[in-house]
Amino acid sequence: MLACMAYVDLNPLRAKMEKTPEASQYTSIKKRAQAVKNQEPQPKDLMPFVGNSRQDMPKGIADQLKDYCERVDTTGRCIRDNKIGYLDSSHSSILERLGLDSQPWLTLKTEFEKHFCYAAGAELMMNEFKRHTKHQ
């Protein structure tokens, strides 16, 4: 679903109709970006991002809005020979343009071992690790 959303959110950029994803008319990323910029809740007519919680999962997209925006931004910067439009490298990142803090991601990336002392990975692999190492 996220790949389909990103495809639609990047279509105006790929067609060279807009310069950034959040400027793209009729896309969900534009509505979400406007809400962020205006410090408003996410639009009610869009499925909300609810994070990655496993317990008591509310109805919504199992991802963070910030992470989705960053993936769209990164994907939009990919230049492909068969596509005419892309996000120019002279633009600041979407997180900067929307005022979203990337520090928690950077902290996690630089202090990974402090937060995951034994292992991290997909649920199936973690269950195998638990059985193999007798960890909880």
The residue extents of the domains of the chain are 2-100, 102-136
pLDDT in tens, 113-127: 676 666 777 777 778
The whole-model pTM stands at 0.63
pLDDT in tens, 66-113: 889 888 888 888 767 677 777 777 778 887 777 776 666 566 656 666
- CA–CA distance from 9 to each of 14, 30, 102, 111 (Å)? 10, 8, 21, 32
Name the DSSP class of 109. H
